[in-house]
Amino acid sequence: MPAFLTGLIAILLLILNTLLWAPLLIGLALLKLLLPIPVVQTTLSWLVDGCASCWIAGNSAWMKLTQAMDWQIERPEQLSSKGWYFVVSNHQSWVDILVLQHCLNGRIPLLKFFLKQELIWVPIMGIAWWALDFPFMKRYSKAYLARHPEKRGQDLNTTRKSCEKFQRKPTSVMNFLEGTRFSQGKHALQRPSYRHLLQPRAGGMAFAMSVMGDNFHSLVDVTIHYPDGVPTFWSFLSGKMRRCQVLIQQKDIPAELSQGDYQNDIDFRNRFQQWVHELWLDKDDTLERLSLTSSTRRVE
């Protein structure tokens, strides 16, 4: 089948799958908004997550139907949909999100991203993210806190309140530590101490840990490698992405790093950054090994 036709069929199936589940999800979100009763909201949260998981399963189905993909996935058997996880991954393409969802859906709780509090006002999506229990994060800059010292600590309290529901419900929090998609241009500008990665930004992860550190059972460290070159979203839909290697590792979170004042405690900040640096060195070595053991060709 011509690549263009494959892409059209794939995007049509994606749209149909979204139209199937989005109205139900939004309807449950509105019901959750109108019924602020804890036991009702908890039940509705499970139903909303179920809709999102079914949407992801539908995406996996059309990917299998339209893509001649060689998936090479390594993951630990002890992952559980009843656990609490902090998930990190390298980031190269918007395709990464579909890859992560495909590899982890049903194996751990639904992936959820920390979002800026202002995003709750985005039409339609804001209420969907709220219904999906995406934690909304309020951050004050150092300059703002210098002018308003009375606000110190309120950002943590606001985000902690957003995460209170995770005490009752297993959760997977997702973070792309690089903060942006990898490119050779960005790599050249940063000149980091990694061959295949950008410099990780530990602050957001430390902030999440300070809010939820006692909840997380472990770290789920995902490494994504595209042997035939990093695909664009359209080249992926068109079936030009032939191989995908995904290594999923479960790692312990050091107890002394699950809580701390990253912003004001220099010693804690240095220890946290060193831990993240070591995680990234291991990931860089993994990507180097994968790139050397698989022949590569450029995706057109």
Task: Compare 6 and 263 and report the one with higher pLDDT.
Answer: 6
Q: What is the CA radius of gyration of the chain?
A: 20
CB 227 within 8 A of CB 294: yes
CB 97 within 8 A of CB 110: no
Token pair, residue 265, equals 């405690």
> What's residue 158's pLDDT?
66
Token pair, residue 49, equals 């997550």
Q: Kindly compute the dihedral angle of the four CA atoms of residues 64, 67, 68, 70, in this order, to the nearest 10 degrees.
A: -70
Q: What is the mean pLDDT of residues 92-115?
A: 93
Domains, the chain, ordered by start: 69-293 (3.40.1130)
> What's residue 300's pLDDT?
33
Q: Which amino acid is at 181?
A: R
Neighbours of 29 (CB within 10 A): 22
**For 225-274, how does the pLDDT look when each residue is reduced to its tens digit (9 = 90+)?**
999 999 999 999 999 999 999 999 999 999 888 888 887 899 999 999 99
**For 35-56, how does the pLDDT look when each residue is reduced to its tens digit (9 = 90+)?**
989 889 889 999 999 999 999 9
The answer, yes or no, to whether residue 296 has pLDDT greater than 70, is no
Q: What is 63-98 written as a DSSP string?
A: HHHH---EEEEE--TT--TTS-EEEEE----THHHH
CB 86 within 8 A of CB 173: yes
Task: Compare 108 and 115 and report the one with higher pLDDT.
Answer: 108
**For 128-184, how does the pLDDT look when each residue is reduced to its tens digit (9 = 90+)?**
888 888 877 776 666 766 677 766 666 667 667 767 777 778 889 998 999 899 999
Give 153's DSSP letter.
T
Please give the C-alpha separations between residue 22 and each of 25, 45, 145, 230, in angstroms, as whole numbers: 5, 15, 40, 29
**For 63-78, how does the pLDDT look when each residue is reduced to its tens digit (9 = 90+)?**
999 988 899 999 999 9
Helix (H, G, I), strand (E, B) or coil at 189: helix
Q: Which amino acid is at 204?
A: G
CA atoms of 114 and 211, how far apart (whole Å) = 11
Q: What is the mean pLDDT of residues 199-219?
A: 84
> What's residue 266's pLDDT?
94
